[in-house]
């Protein structure tokens, strides 16, 4: 946290950011409840920043861009589940055009991350597999990070995990219908 960050006490405390309750209804809550909500929001922000930093470090470690890394994660998951991945599947997963998928797979192949193979069931199509060296690098960076997250969640009681699930479900429902920068639809 920088000195400037320390000067700004909280970016999520409605008592500071929206004292009149014009946007965030908070006056019906007691001070302790607001403190807890703010603490959760601040913890979410800290986690989000850390997750972005970890993702950036993994991308730097593997010398890949965000979409490239997302494609590799998808391909590794497909490969481990015995699914033959195709460029069309990558395009659908990343929500990119076929042309963008071709550029992405060209980059990944040139970097030694994937191999294009003839599709065993349809000679007009190709299958894509991740190279063993890239799979090992992904396990070393992303895999270990995922294992630590899994362990943190597994260490919670069943009741606590259920509460976390309810929380994320509520966040998802709250975000539905909201367009970035436009507010509620």
Integer Rg of the chain from CA:
22
3-state secondary structure 55-76: HHHHHHHHCCCHHHHHHHHHHH
Q: Which residue has the tokens 């015995």?
A: 82
d(CA 119, CA 112): 19
Q: What does DSSP assign to residue 143? A: I
CB 85, CB 75: distance < 8 Å: yes
Q: Is the pLDDT of residue 185 over 80?
A: no
Q: CATH class for domain 63-175?
A: mainly alpha
Residues 157 and 141: their CA atoms lie apart, in Å, by: 28
pLDDT of residue 182: 55
Over residues 159-177, the pLDDT tens digits come to 999 999 999 998 888 888 6
Going by pLDDT thresholds of 50, 70 and 90, the confidence category of residue 181 is low
Q: What is the pLDDT of residues 85-138, one digit of tens each?
A: 999 999 999 999 999 999 999 999 999 999 999 998 888 899 999 999 999 888
Average confidence score pLDDT of the chain? 85
Read off the pTM.
Answer: 0.66
Element (H, E) at 146: helix 144-154
* Residues β-bridged to residue 118: 126
The dihedral built from the CA positions of residue 5, 11, 14 and 20, taken in this order, carries a sign that is positive
CB 184 within 8 A of CB 177: yes
In the chain, where the domains are located:
1-62, 63-175
pLDDT digits (tens, 9 = 90+) for 37-72: 888 888 888 888 888 888 787 767 667 888 998 999
């Amino acid at each position: 946290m920088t000195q400037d960050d320390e000067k700004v006490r909280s970016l999520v405390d409605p008592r500071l950011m929206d004292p009149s309750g014009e946007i965030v209804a908070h006056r019906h809550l007691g001070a302790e409840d607001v403190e807890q909500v703010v603490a959760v929001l601040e913890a979410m922000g800290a986690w989000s920043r850390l997750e972005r930093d970890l993702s950036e470090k993994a991308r730097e470690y593997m010398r890949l861009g965000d979409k490239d890394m997302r494609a590799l994660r998808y391909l590794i998951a497909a490969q481990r589940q015995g699914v033959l991945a195709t460029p069309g599947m990558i395009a659908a997963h990343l929500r990119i055009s076929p042309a963008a998928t071709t550029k992405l797979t060209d980059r990944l192949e040139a970097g030694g991350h994937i191999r294009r193979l003839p599709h065993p069931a349809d000679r007009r199509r190709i299958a894509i597999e991740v190279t063993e060296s890239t799979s090992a690098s992904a396990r070393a960076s992303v895999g270990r990070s995922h294992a630590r997250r899994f362990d943190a969640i597994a260490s919670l009681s069943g009741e606590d995990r259920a509460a976390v699930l309810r929380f994320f479900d509520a966040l998802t429902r709250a975000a539905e219908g909201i367009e970035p920068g436009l507010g509620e639809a």
